[in-house]
Amino acid sequence: MANKNQKNNNICGGLYTKKVLETFKNPHNYGKIKNASGIGKVGNIVCGDVMWLYIKVDKSEKIKDIKFETFGCVAAISTSSIITDLAKGKTIKEALKITKDNIITSLGGLPSIKYHCSVLAVDALVEAVYDYFLKSKKEVPADLQKKHEIIQKSKEIIEKRYKKWIK
């Protein structure tokens, strides 16, 4: 499947798939959630992509509702929409298993230059779940803590790279 997507990308010369464009045109689950259980905020407006992901988690730790707000390109909006579809109804444990490749596959492929948008969506979900643990004063699992730290670290690297622009 991944190979097939790759091939399609090459044929289109890195343009968007039909599924990406459809998702972009009619994104699902955008907006805010009041009293969200957790909010994940990733990206930087200077770089051109910002994704905020809101989750509402019920007692059985299922993601009952999920919404996004995104400033960004076609790929960023599509990956935001797709991750809400993929995560909705899953337990947080299951939701954290969603990978960038799941997102890319669900979109029928992404131009390789836009892969970072799928990473951004995964990171936003990780951060939202992390925020849920903090807010509900539960102990953060070790692997989630690690993921959170990696995201924060890469954020620092990006901000360093764009230092001349970020004031």
Partner 1 sequence: MKNIYLDYAATTPIDKRVLKAMEPYFSIKFGNTMSLHSFGQEAKLALENSRQVLADVINADLNEIIFTGSATESNNLALKGVTLALRKAKATAGHGHIIISSIEHPCIIESAKWLKKQGFQITEVPVDKYGLVNPEDVKNAITNKTILVSIIHASNEIGTIEPIAEIGKFCRNAGVCFHTDASQSFGKIPIDVKKMNIDLLTASSHKIYGPKGAGLLYVKKGIILEPILHGGGQENGLRGSTINVPAIVGFAKATEICQKEMVKEALRLSKLRNKLIREVLKIKNSHLNGPPPLKATARQSHPKKRLANNANFSFDFVEGESLLMQLDMEGIACSTGSACSSFKLEPSHVLLATGLKPQEAHGSLRVSLGRFTTEKEINQLTKVLPKIVKKIREISPYGK
Say whether 12 is catalytic.
no
Per the residue annotation, which of 46, 47, 74, 158 is the catalytic one? 47
Residues that bind partner 1 (CB under 8 A): 16, 21, 24-25, 27, 30-31, 41, 45-50, 52, 68-77, 113, 162, 165
H or E stretch covering 134: helix 115-135
Least CB distance to partner 1 at residue 116 (A): 8
Which C-beta is closer to partner 1: that of 16 or that of 130? 16
Q: Whose Cβ is closer to partner 1: residue 81's or residue 144's?
A: 81
User: What is the rounded CA–CA span in Å between residue 108 and residue 88?
Assistant: 20
**CA-to-CA dists, residue 2 to 16, 20, 21, 77, 112, angstroms:** 15, 16, 19, 21, 12
For residues 162 and 88, the answer to whether their CB atoms sit within 8 Å is no
Q: What angle do CA 67, 99, 14 make, to 5 degrees?
A: 90
State the virtual CA torsion across 110, 100, 114, 132 in degrees, nearest 10: 130
**Catalytic annotation, pick one of 50, 86, 98, 117:** 117
Closest CB to partner 1 among 14 and 89? 14
> Does the annotation count 73 as an active-site position?
no
* Nearest to partner 1 of 21, 140 (CB atom): 21
Cβ of residue 67: shortest distance to partner 1, in angstroms? 10
Catalytically active residues are 47, 117
